[in-house]
Amino acid sequence: SVVAETSGITGLNEIISEQRGPNQVIVLLSIDWDNHITAGQVEEHVSEIERKIRKRFKEVSRVFIEAQSNKRHKEFELISESA
């Protein structure tokens, strides 16, 4: 996968996609980044991931990427489920 091919990632927490029209798909990713890479490296990787997704899937119009540890992601999932 595009995410698995990217260095500096320790895990993929979640993928959400939403089709808004015939050629309008929005992709949302929650990614756990390696704590030892710089913010600049994360920015480069985000651009690379977005470019690869949009090249591979022409119907994708927007890609949003959240940086969140797996631990925090699970905590927020538990909060959402209990609400």
Residue 74: CB atoms within 10 Å = 12
Give me 3's structure tokens: 């995410």
Asked if residue 33 lies in contact with residue 67, where contact means CB atoms within 8 angstroms, the answer is yes
| pLDDT at residue number 47 | 96
| pLDDT at residue number 12 | 94
Query: pLDDT tens across 30-70, in order?
Result: 999 999 999 999 999 999 999 999 999 999 999 999 999 88
pLDDT average, residue stretch 7-15: 94
Pairing mode, strands 24-33 and 60-67: parallel
Q: Is the pLDDT of residue 29 over 90?
A: yes
How far does CA 60 lie from the centroid of its chain?
13
- pTM of this structure: 0.84
| pLDDT at residue number 83 | 65
Asked if residue 34 lies in contact with residue 3, where contact means CB atoms within 8 angstroms, the answer is no
Using a pLDDT cut of 90, give the percent of the chain over it: 73
Nearest-angstrom CA–CA distance, 53 and 1: 9
